[in-house]
């Protein structure tokens, strides 16, 4: 009996010591603000307010804070992912589906409602038709570019027991293309173009959800070829003969691989292109002058790089001026899918403006177009958001400053 009691005391002391050491290390260790592998901002230390104290949210904020900054947190998460991947061999780990070639995102179960999709498609097409008219009223032409995204492009790779969203994307795209054509809105469907090319594998990353350099180049060329054909123009269009393509030696940390803590082996690399003929330009980000660069590269070959190499990641407003007034101006609207395309698009225009309405909060897109009156306005979105009216599709409203 005494031995059992002594064992219980020793166990309790050991457990309390473990908690004390963990809490002490958590309290004194340097606090990180970003989680590289989770690609999110970690919780900041809660600030005491009378309202949050009384409603109890202050205490829950502390719980979240300690969870985000607990000692050994990344190690434990990585160990858990390793067990799931290589011991239990789960087909889905950290919401990532592991297939023979690609890492894809997990989709929850959904029931496809054709009537709802048709209604949403009409509303989206009406919204974009009104945007087209607004662009024309301000002397420009409007183009909508639809890219499939890695998920939709590789939907056939999902195991039968998981949702691939193939039925949803097929239904939504059929409705959307019909509604856009009926309203006379210029639509460039890169999914259709890629399919006509034989559905090449290299246009989307295997470990990231974005277009590869090859996919971005083809998208840029499709946009320029369409503009030139529609308007009987000969705007410059970069081809393989006009650029020097270089593979970035650094390890590539794709958005899907990041969630798996880079535990799966991958030889995937980023590529960048330099025009053979130098095109000097100036650049501003959010109104502030920055270095005239479109690629953000480390000064070594061992630090991991991500998709933010292209255009330095997501920025609310970027302006690149090549000082060639004989060429037209362009405004590109979209989210991170535009980044790699921007690295090429500026070479074909006098001035390229890029807006991401998820972050831009100075004016509405409508007012922005009226102020700068670009010759071409291009909205580039992926299939998953074609039928939405918020974010980068909300051209009338202004994002609230946070």
Residue 47 CA to residue 72 CA, distance in Å, equals: 25
Residue 182 CA to residue 175 CA, distance in Å, equals: 11
Which H or E run contains 321? strand 317-321
Of residues 280 and 50, more confidently modeled: 280
**Residue with the two structure tokens 């403006």:** 353
Of residues 43 and 176, more confidently modeled: 176
What is the average per-residue pLDDT within 94-110?
94
* pLDDT for 98: 94
Of residues 52 and 147, more confidently modeled: 147
What is the average per-residue pLDDT within 258-280?
93
DSSP 162-219: S---HHHHHHHHHHHHHHHHHTT--EEEHHHHHHHTT--GGGB-SSSSSB-HHHHHHH
Of residues 42 and 344, more confidently modeled: 344
* pLDDT for 119: 98
Q: What are phi and psi of 173, to 5 degrees?
A: -65, -40
* pLDDT for 76: 81
Q: Does 66 have pLDDT greater than 70? A: no
* pLDDT for 366: 97
Residue 355 CA to residue 379 CA, distance in Å, equals: 10
Q: What pTM did the predictor assign?
A: 0.85
pLDDT in tens, 363-381: 999 999 999 999 999 999 9
What is the average per-residue pLDDT within 344-373?
97
Q: Does 74 have pLDDT greater than 80? A: no
* pLDDT for 90: 93
Alpha-carbon distance values, 339 to 48, 92, 297, 343, 390 (Å): 39, 29, 15, 7, 20
What is the average per-residue pLDDT within 41-57?
63
Q: Does 59 have pLDDT greater than 70? A: no
Q: What ranges do the domains of the chain cover? A: 2-75, 114-393
Q: Name the average pLDDT for the chain.
A: 88
Categorize the per-residue pLDDT at 331 as very low, low, confident or very high, splitting at 50, 70 and 90.
Answer: very high
Measured from the Cβ of residue 199, the count of other Cβ atoms closer than 10 Å reads: 12
What is the average per-residue pLDDT within 299-314?
95
What is the average per-residue pLDDT within 214-227?
98
Q: Does 250 have pLDDT greater than 50? A: yes
* pLDDT for 15: 47
- Out of 7-11, 287-291, 394-398, give the one with best mean pLDDT: 287-291
Which of 4, 34, 23, 39 minimizes the C-alpha distance to 307?
Answer: 39
């Amino acid at each position: 009996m005494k031995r059992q009691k002594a064992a219980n005391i020793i166990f309790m002391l050991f457990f309390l010591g473990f908690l004390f050491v963990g809490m002490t290390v958590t309290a004194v260790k340097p606090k990180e603000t970003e989680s590289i592998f989770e690609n999110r901002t970690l919780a900041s230390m809660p600030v005491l307010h009378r309202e949050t104290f009384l409603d109890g949210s202050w205490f829950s904020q502390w719980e979240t804070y300690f969870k985000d900054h607990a000692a050994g947190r990344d190690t434990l998460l990585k160990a858990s992912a390793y067990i799931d991947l290589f011991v239990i061999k789960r087909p889905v780990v950290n919401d990532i589906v592991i297939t023979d070639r690609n890492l894809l995102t997990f989709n929850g179960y959904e029931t496809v409602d054709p009537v709802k999709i048709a209604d949403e498609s009409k509303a989206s097409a009406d919204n974009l038709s009104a945007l087209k008219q607004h662009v024309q009223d301000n002397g420009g032409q409007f183009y909508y570019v639809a890219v499939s995204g890695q998920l939709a492009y590789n939907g056939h790779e999902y195991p039968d027991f998981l949702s691939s969203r193939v039925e949803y994307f097929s239904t939504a795209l059929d409705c959307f293309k019909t509604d856009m054509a009926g309203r006379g809105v210029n639509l460039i469907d890169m999914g259709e173009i890629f399919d006509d090319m034989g559905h090449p594998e290299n246009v989307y990353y295997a470990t990231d959800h974005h277009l590869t350099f090859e996919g971005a180049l083809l998208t840029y060329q499709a946009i320029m070829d369409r503009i030139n054909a529609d308007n009987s123009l000969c705007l410059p269009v970069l081809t393989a003969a006009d650029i020097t393509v270089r593979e970035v030696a650094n390890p590539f940390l794709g958005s899907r691989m990041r969630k798996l803590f880079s535990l799966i082996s991958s030889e995937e690399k980023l590529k960048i292109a330099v025009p053979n003929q130098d095109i000097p330009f100036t650049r501003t980000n959010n109104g502030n002058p920055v270095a005239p660069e479109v690629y953000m590269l480390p000064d070594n070959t061992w630090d991991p790089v991500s998709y933010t190499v292209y255009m330095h990641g997501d920025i609310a407003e970027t302006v690149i001026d090549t000082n060639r007034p004989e060429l037209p101006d362009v405004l590109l609207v979209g989210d991170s899918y535009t980044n790699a395309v921007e690295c090429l698009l500026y070479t074909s225009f006098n001035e390229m403006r890029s807006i991401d309405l998820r972050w831009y909060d100075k004016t509405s897109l409508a007012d922005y177009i009226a102020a700068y009156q670009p010759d071409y306005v291009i909205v580039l979105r992926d299939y998953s958001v074609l039928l939405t009216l918020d974010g980068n599709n909300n051209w009338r409203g202004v994002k609230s400053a946070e």
